[in-house]
Amino acid sequence: MSALLLAVPLTIFVLFVAPIWLWLHYSNRAERGSQLSQNERARLAQLSEEAQKMRERINALEQILDAGHPGWRNQ
């Protein structure tokens, strides 16, 4: 008899509550994931600027190497 008392609420939870709970959790998560916060946008802009500066530094170093040791890329 005690197993039946536990089985009924567990069955209701598994059939009704859990699917609705999971659906609400993942639907809200998907909506939040598609929008970036202001801090995240600012950080992405900062990372983009830093990447551009790094590309410029690499190009400058490659020019220095080309001037000092022509053909270094072929080795």
pLDDT in tens, 5-62: 777 788 888 888 888 888 888 877 666 666 767 888 899 999 999 999 999 999 998 8
Does 75 reside within a domain? Answer: no
And the tokens for 47?
Answer: 């990372």
pTM of the model: 0.47
For residue 66, give every residue at least 6 positions away whose Cβ sits within 8 Å of its Cβ, in sequence order, or none.
Answer: 72
Does 39 reside within a domain? Answer: yes
pLDDT for 46 equals 95
pLDDT for 1 equals 59
- Structural domains of the chain, count: 1
Report how far residue 1's alpha carbon sits from residue 42's, in angstroms, rounded to the nearest whole number.
Answer: 61
Q: Which domain holds residue 61?
A: 2-68
Does 73 reside within a domain? Answer: no
Residue 3 has pLDDT above 80, yes or no: no
Does 47 reside within a domain? Answer: yes
